[in-house]
């Protein structure tokens, strides 16, 4: 049964709100996160076996708050932990993408998760990724990181 729009919102800071108030219990947020889906139009829904309702998401529903690394070189594997304790391996199915703000030139990095849901990579984690980065000189001249034998661009090199 479709309930329509719910008075639930996920702020850019990753805080979930219900009826205008933050949801303070991490366990409750984690439970809601397990039934969060994104449709082809980009709308977010909480879907249970008996009902579904649309919610507002200001940016991305999750934050990538911690980076772990194993291996070196081509064997390097990066994993990101979200603010709801989901661990996601950066690979072809779960890539890193970076938007650049046209006005400020500042990066907005994201981890693409299952179902097209994304986690915004926090500034501290992004700096950790940059510290692990390497140049990929070629037709695109990118700077990025390797994970699961795949190169993920963090941005273009400034060849000035």
Asked if residue 160 has pLDDT above 60, the reply is no
Query: Which residues belong to CATH 2.30.270.10 in the chain?
Result: 62-154
DSSP single-letter state for residue 73: G
Supply the CATH classification number for the domain 2-57.
3.10.540.10
Average pLDDT, the chain: 90
**For residues 56 and 154, what is the distance between their CA atoms, to the nearest angstrom?**
28
Name residue, tokens 């933050």.
22
Specify which residues 99 forms β-bridges with: 108
Question: How large is the average pLDDT for residues 98-105?
Answer: 85
pLDDT recorded at residue 56: 96
Q: Whole-model pTM?
A: 0.88
Share of the chain above pLDDT 70, in %: 95
Question: How large is the average pLDDT for residues 118-146?
Answer: 87
Supply the CATH classification number for the domain 62-154.
2.30.270.10
Question: How large is the average pLDDT for residues 115-119?
Answer: 92
Q: Parallel, antiparallel, or unpaired: how do β-strands 2-10 and 52-57 relate?
A: parallel
pLDDT recorded at residue 46: 93
Q: Which residues contact 45 (CB under 8 A, 6 or more apart)?
A: 36, 37, 38, 39, 52, 53, 54, 55
Of the listed ranges 8-22, 37-51, 146-160, the least confidently predicted one is 146-160
Share of the chain above pLDDT 90, in %: 72
Query: Which residues belong to CATH 3.10.540.10 in the chain?
Result: 2-57
First-last CA distance in the chain: 57
CA distances from 9 to 4, 29, 40, 42, 76 (A): 14, 12, 19, 15, 36
């Amino acid at each position: 049964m479709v309930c329509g729009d719910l008075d639930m919102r996920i702020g850019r800071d990753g805080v979930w709100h219900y009826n205008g108030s933050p949801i303070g219990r991490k366990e409750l947020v984690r439970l809601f996160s397990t039934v969060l889906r994104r449709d082809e139009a980009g709308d977010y829904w909480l879907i249970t076996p008996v009902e579904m309702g649309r919610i507002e998401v200001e940016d991305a529903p999750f934050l990538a708050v911690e980076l772990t690394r194993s291996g070196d070189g081509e064997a390097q594997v990066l994993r990101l932990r979200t603010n709801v304790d989901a661990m996601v391996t950066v690979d072809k199915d779960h890539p890193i993408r970076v938007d650049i703000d046209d006005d400020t030139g500042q990066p907005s990095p994201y981890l693409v998760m299952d179902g097209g849901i994304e986690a915004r990579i926090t500034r501290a984690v992004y700096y950790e990724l940059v510290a692990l980065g390497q140049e990929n000189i070629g037709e695109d001249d990118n700077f990025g990181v390797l994970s699961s034998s795949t190169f993920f661009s963090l941005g273009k090199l400034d060849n000035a």
